[in-house]
Amino acid sequence: MPDSSAAADKTPHNVSLAEQLAWASRMVQAVQAGRSLTEALGQTPSRLRPGVQALTFHALRHLGLTQAIVGRLSRRSPAPPVKALLQVAISLLWADPSSSESPRYAAHTLVDQAVTALKVLKQPVVVAGFVNACLRRCIRERQALNDWANEQTEARWNHPAWWVERVRSDHPDHWQAVLEADRVPAPMVLRVNARRQTRAAYSAQLAAMGIDACPVGDVGLELAHALPVEQLPGWQEGAVSVQDTAAQMAAPLLLDGASGVRRVLDACAAPGGKTAHLLERADLEVLAIDQDPARAQRIRDNLARLRLEATVMAADAGQPHSWWDGKPFDAILLDAPCTASGIVRRHPDVPWLRRPGDVEQLVQQQARLLNALWPLLRPGGRLLYATCSVFKAEGSEQILAFLATHADARTLPAPGHLLPGLAGQTDTREPADGIGDNATRGTDGFFYALLVKPAA
């Protein structure tokens, strides 16, 4: 689900703003009802999808604010379709008086089109006056509403209150930067397939097409502007993949400096980006596992595009007795299921889909996987534990608990917690063991711990 702020500009000219607003409100309503935005967008007419996605992403990045304002403007909660439409419209009207952000549409145009969108949503005619009044009051009282909203936790930070408190507790020096970064669209980053060509050669191809990109990581290129993958040279032939800089760290962390690595397990591997990166870096026998058969098929599809081969299996990585052949692995990558709290820039629905109890449930699942997979590693082998989370319960605290109960595990240097929004900064509490906060480069939020099982 690429995020491009220009997507709305590419919507066909015969699509009205009212139609886009109506569908975007359906997306917001779906998220508030607990549905994944990716799933909901899949049901949007293809001719509307780029514009609707852009509007929905914008609305979700302001959802805490607009929820608070709708509650302030209305004595009773409107019907869900009307509430969601107001939230989308207010997010588009809004510009913090203290920032350089400007509304995307002229106020009178947006009010008119929001009222028209009620017809698309098949809402009663009487509702039109209510929506019109709310939006016009929002315009008149924006400064006062903004001042009031800044005193409300969810409105100020556009995350659930429990989420704000957890980030503040986990990262007291950086919590504000992390929450602010979540509202900024992430850049589109490519991973050049080193088996096909060098990064310099591919960068020259992009430059010849007028596509600006700068190098990141070992083989990455960050695009100045996102664009559909079909427009990338060599995409269908497997020249590049889309993968954030933080995710591109996994393969080199697991392989570089290791000896005798041939047999590798990629647990919880879908959609296969890290599996492919491992195979692009070395000649390996990789077993890639994912519990969901549909997601396992995505691994196969991605490998096929890249002209790479691995054994792919739909199975529960935490139940090795059902799939393991008894031969130890030289290296294991465990990209464990997590809250996805580190990739909110790309998936702004995540904070609003999660509940506080989800963290503990996922922590238990991560521990189950770690305990199940550790015996499958040969002496001298490495296990890389990764989560795309900024929560310490899913990162450093998880690994410290594992080390406390596994005397045969040691840590090697690894990034620890990487936090979005901190480009060029380094946490002064950087640890030597690689399981705490570490240098950050404005990447997605991630956690990496590299464990080694000492040779007998």
> Residue 304 is part of a domain; what is its CATH number?
3.40.50.150
- 219 and 262 share one domain: no
Give me the pLDDT at residue 436, please.
Answer: 53
- Say which CATH number the domain at 230 has: 3.30.70.1170
CB-based burial of residue 295 (10 Å sphere; 0-12 exposed, 13-18 middle, 19+ buried)? middle
> Domain total for the chain?
3
For all residues of the chain together, what is the average pLDDT?
91
- 148 and 109 share one domain: yes
Q: Please identify, among 133, 157, 181, the residue that sits at the C-terminal boundary of a domain.
A: 157
Give me the pLDDT at residue 82, please.
Answer: 97
- Report if residue 385 sits inside a domain: yes
pTM of the model: 0.91
- 319 and 200 share one domain: no
- Report if residue 167 sits inside a domain: no
User: Per DSSP, what are the bridge partners of residue 450?
Assistant: 384, 412
CB 434 within 8 A of CB 396: no
- Report if residue 268 sits inside a domain: yes
pLDDT tens, position by position, 127-172: 999 999 999 999 999 999 999 999 999 999 999 999 999 999 999 9
- 349 and 417 share one domain: yes
CB 197 within 8 A of CB 219: no
Give me the pLDDT at residue 434, please.
Answer: 52
333 — phi, psi (to 5°)? Answer: -110, 120
Bridge-based pairing state of the strands 377-387 and 329-335: parallel
Q: Which of 134, 138, 338, 388 is catalytic?
A: 388
- 352 and 409 share one domain: yes
- Report if residue 374 sits inside a domain: yes
Between CA 450 and CA 409 the distance in angstroms is: 10
Section 252-271 average pLDDT: 96
Give me the pLDDT at residue 104, please.
Answer: 75
Between CA 23 and CA 7 the distance in angstroms is: 15
Amino acid at 432: A
Q: In terms of residue numbers, what domain contains 38?
A: 7-157
- Report if residue 1 sits inside a domain: no
| 338 is a catalytic site residue | no
- Report if residue 329 sits inside a domain: yes
- 102 and 35 share one domain: yes
- 54 and 130 share one domain: yes
C-alpha distance from residue 181 to each of 48, 167, 442, 444 (Å): 28, 13, 9, 10
Q: Max alpha carbon distance in the chain (Å)?
A: 77
- Report if residue 165 sits inside a domain: no
Closest Cα partner for 193 from 256, 248, 264?
248
Q: Please identify, among 220, 242, 264, the residue that sits at the C-terminal boundary of a domain.
A: 242
- Say which CATH number the domain at 95 has: 1.10.940.10
- 18 and 36 share one domain: yes
CB 187 within 8 A of CB 215: no
Give me the pLDDT at residue 307, please.
Answer: 96
Per-residue pLDDT band at 3 (split at 50, 70, 90): low
- 255 and 150 share one domain: no
- 225 and 296 share one domain: no
- Report if residue 174 sits inside a domain: no
DSSP letters for 33-59: TT--HHHHHTTS-TTTHHHHHHHHHHH
- 381 and 251 share one domain: yes
- 419 and 297 share one domain: yes
CB 25 within 8 A of CB 117: yes
Section 413-428 average pLDDT: 71
